Amino acid sequence: MSPNFIISKISNAEYKEKSPVSITYGKLETKYGKSVLAFLEKQICFVSFGDDFNSGIKVLQTNFPTADFTCDDSIATSKIHYFDPNTTEDIKLILKGTEFEIMVWEYLLQIKEGTTVPYEEVAKGIGKPTAVRAVANAIGKNNIAFFIPCHRVISKTGDPGKYGWGRDRKLKMLADENVFF
């Protein structure tokens, strides 16, 4: 069982036009480390994992430079069940990026839990078979890691590769889906 994702999109240009936007974020402990979970218009716009909260907050502020931020840990802790793969609750996500990045992230949502695919397959899947490097760059800009499952993308050699929040976290996420390296 997987959650149902309700997707909204905002281009980088639309984000600039709307600025400043209000983003509420909270800090919570997850099995993947200290997490910052942020919401724009009551939709998840950012999630981080790390060994401390400050690094996640800095990345959030860098990725949404013109936003007004409010910290409310209760909003994040009330959503801890979102990190349970058995949740059946609808999860609202808002994707902020270029048209190409959003296309890549939407494709990642189609990768089934417990499976992995190489970058080349993602590129083919979006109809851009020669855009492997651009696909990798888009995956690296994913603000909603875990929910947009970039951890399921691996190298063509079968190596799990890098992960923005650390290779060990990627391996743990995959192990939680019964994928082992």
**Phi and psi torsions of 60, nearest 5°:** -55, -50
For the stretch 130-153, pLDDT in tens is 999 999 999 999 999 999 999 999
Catalytic residue among 23, 57, 150, 154: 150
From the options 3.90.1150.10, 3.30.160.70, 3.40.50.10070, 3.60.15.10, give the CATH code of 4-94: 3.30.160.70
For the stretch 9-40, pLDDT in tens is 999 999 999 889 999 999 999 999 999 999 99
Burial 37-71 (b: 16+ CB within 10 A, else e): bbbbeebbbbbbbbeebeebbebbeebbeebeeee
Q: Which fold has domain 98-176?
A: Arc Repressor Mutant, subunit A (1.10.10)
Q: What is the mean pLDDT of the chain?
A: 95
Residue 86: the pLDDT is 82
Residue 1: the pLDDT is 57
Residue 174 predicted with pLDDT over 70: yes
Active site residue 71: no
